[in-house]
Structures are given as C-alpha cells and as structure tokens.
Amino acid sequence: MEESVRKMSEKALGMLKHMRGQIFGHPAPYVEVRGASLSIGVNPGGSECDDLVDELLQAGYIRTYPSPSLTAHGLYRLTDRGMGAAKEAAAEE
C-alpha cells in the first residue's frame, strides 16, 4: 500500500472510498462531501468533517473547483491520485 494511504486516518480513507463510489457512471469526477461524511458517521457541517476534507486536500486526493460557489456547496473533484488510493484501499479489505 502506498505510504501516504497508510498515514491517512481511517475516517478520511472511508470518505475517500465513498467518494470513489460517487463518480461511477458520471462523466466528471465530482464528489459531494455531505454524502461521504454521512457514510462514515460524521456530521457534514462539523469541524471534524472540515478536518477530514483538509486531510484529503493536503494529500492531493481531492481538489477544489475554480468556482468558489461549488466548493462552498461541498463539491470537489476527485483526483486521479485519489481514485488510485481509494481503489488500492478497497483492494486491501
């Protein structure tokens, strides 16, 4: 498993795996934080969710949209690196 994936918290990894599932069947790799946070039992409006999103951003697994209004509504783009990390983590289960 990639070193950065091993260092990621279990909750952030859970969000990432849920986000990977969100993109199947969609032409653009946009993901919605609310559903991902609820899938791991985290309040989407709370500071824990914000911290997990920051963790995923810093790792390069998601990125913001150029339009701040989309990000303000909880939409991010899942990066190729994020897709790979989620796929690798899912394979480890």
Chain mean pLDDT for the chain: 89
Angle between helices 80-92 and 10-23 (to 10 degrees): 110
The tokens for 61 are 């697994």
Domain count, the chain: 1
**pTM for the predicted model, two decimal places:** 0.87
- Give the model's pLDDT for residue 90: 80
**Domain extent for 10:** 3-92
Name the phi and psi angles at 51, rounded to 5: -65, -40
- For 4-31, the pLDDT digits (tens) are 555 788 999 999 999 999 988 888 889 9
- Give the model's pLDDT for residue 1: 46
Q: Which of 2, 11, 78, 75 is nearest to 49 (CA)?
A: 11
| CATH number for the domain harbouring residue 32 | 1.10.10.10
CA pair distance 9, 54, nearest whole angstrom: 12
